[in-house]
Structure 1
Amino acid sequence: MTDNAILEGLKTGDNAYLKHLYLEHKAAFLNFTKNYGIAKNNALDIYQDAILALSENIATGKLTSLNSSLKTYLFSIGKYMVFDYLRAKNKLRHIDDNHFNSLALKIDFDFDVLFKKESNQTEKKLELAFNKLGIKCKTILKLFYYQNYNAEEIVELLEYKSKDVVKSQKYRCLKHLKEIFENER
């Protein structure tokens, strides 16, 4: 069943389409919430709320056509609900520049495990270059590449203005890392 067919079916209020949508993306959403340490029963509640919000957006005319897949739209709703849940549980905390060091120390501990195994010369050179970066660059790159945070999550965590600012900062950090790496002897 195509996303447009499901959308049209949901517009008519046919619960069979809602059930199909619910079952089709349930496992993927529950898997997504595992990354945040959310218990299955709480993740199911969040998923059901996201399904209801999507259904309400259709009923109120807020969603009339798709610019993305229904899954993307649903997960976008769900992701913000996950962040709200974590914020309410005080698991996702906002930090300012004064807290970069404490966050970086926690991430350093986790990140250093990667370098405990035998490293080849290129990996050692990369580690040296990485260690020469500033704390903000280290933090963003570790969150993005090691802990698999996306730009929107990093905006939430580090209180940047937008995901474009995060992407720009990540690009500058990678460029700087590359320059240091290429200049290592």
Structure 2
Amino acid sequence: MPDIKFSNRDAEEREKLFISLYKSTFPAVAKYTSKMGGSFDEAKDIFQDALVIYYEKAVARSLSVQTNEKAYLMGIAKHLWLKKHHANSKQVPLEGFDVESEAEAQPSGNKILSFLQTAGKKCMELLRSFYYDGVPLTEVAESFGFSGVRSATVQKYKCLEKVRETVKEKSLTYEDFLD
């Protein structure tokens, strides 16, 4: 691994190092970016940003390369891509977004209720208390006569399993609960 002391190098040596890093690392960054759905221009932007970060850390002497420069640059590029991709995924364009069709695709409360009732009245009351009313398990245990929170938790689990079994037996899918 070459000694990275940019402050002591002249411009020609830095240029040679950057060209070497570009030739050895950019193809891997471009391949990764393409695999992740990015364009060639995005790969170039990501790589340039990674190279700048690499250079800034080297000049500040806070560069700690554990493996090699190519792997280090690749790691920076992956981090930058994921950061960019995560930021872009939060931005959903509103054009073409059909609010009415989204509202229509909501599960039917009546259909869900009918499957919950297959678990029995006591299970319905227990699940309603915990999930709908937000009653803490300590209070659920007291009001339903369980010996403790652990017993209430186990009973809640058994109630949910009864409902799951019914859904499984009837081979139901999410669409079966829609109006």
* Same fold? TM cut 0.5: no
* Higher RCO (C-alpha under 8 Å, 6+ residues apart): 2
Specify the TM-score bucket, using the shorter chain as the normaliser. Answer: 0.3 to 0.5
TM-score with structure 1 setting the length: 0.43
Higher CA-based Rg: 2
TM-score with structure 2 setting the length: 0.44
